[in-house]
Structure 1
Amino acid sequence: MSPKNSKRKLKNTKPNQPKTNFIIIGLAFALFIIGIHQSMTVGFEYSYWIFMLSISLLLLHRYLRQKNKTEDSSK
């Protein structure tokens, strides 16, 4: 093997952040809309868990964004 082949460039192991953020925000928005629909049809007490999933995805998005900012600023 030549030295060129043995030295591979290390790829960035960080996940593609914009795609992940877009998916999380999209799921949070979709769950919120589903929660509104379910609360109008069957009642809020049966759709409460859908709203909680939506809020938890928003909190996850905020956490990942803050984590990404602190990693970028420390470099």
Structure 2
Amino acid sequence: MSNIDVAMKTSAVVTSAVQCLAAERSNESSPHYAAHVEYSDELLALAARDLVRSIDALPPSERPIGWDDE
């Protein structure tokens, strides 16, 4: 993995977070509201998982400070 991959995954997390906010603020009376919100939440979780995997794949010297702290 590269820093470019991490940057792309970070962008995906931010995009998914914005989509979650938009879904939560959409029309609650829609019959698809709950499914839309759940789907958006799942996309955010998957994007975050992919970001963590990309960072974990970096050499330790390129990971964010404190990443490996427990």
- Relative to its length, the structure with more helix (as a share) is 1
1:33 to 1, 5, 18: 18
Larger radius of gyration: 1
Q: Indicate the structure whose relative CO is greater, using CA pairs within 8 Å and at least 6 residues apart.
A: 2
* Counterpart position of 1:53: 43
Percent of aligned pairs sharing the same letter: 2
Give the superposition deviation at 1:68: 2.9
Q: Which runs of 4+ in 1 moved over 2 A?
A: 67-70
Gaps of 5+ in 2: 61-70
What is the TM-score of this pair, normalised by structure 1?
0.59
RMSD over aligned Cα atoms: 2.2
Structure 1 unmatched runs, 5+? 1-14, 71-75
TM-score (norm 2): 0.62
Distance 2:50 2:39 in 1: 16
Q: How many residues align?
A: 56
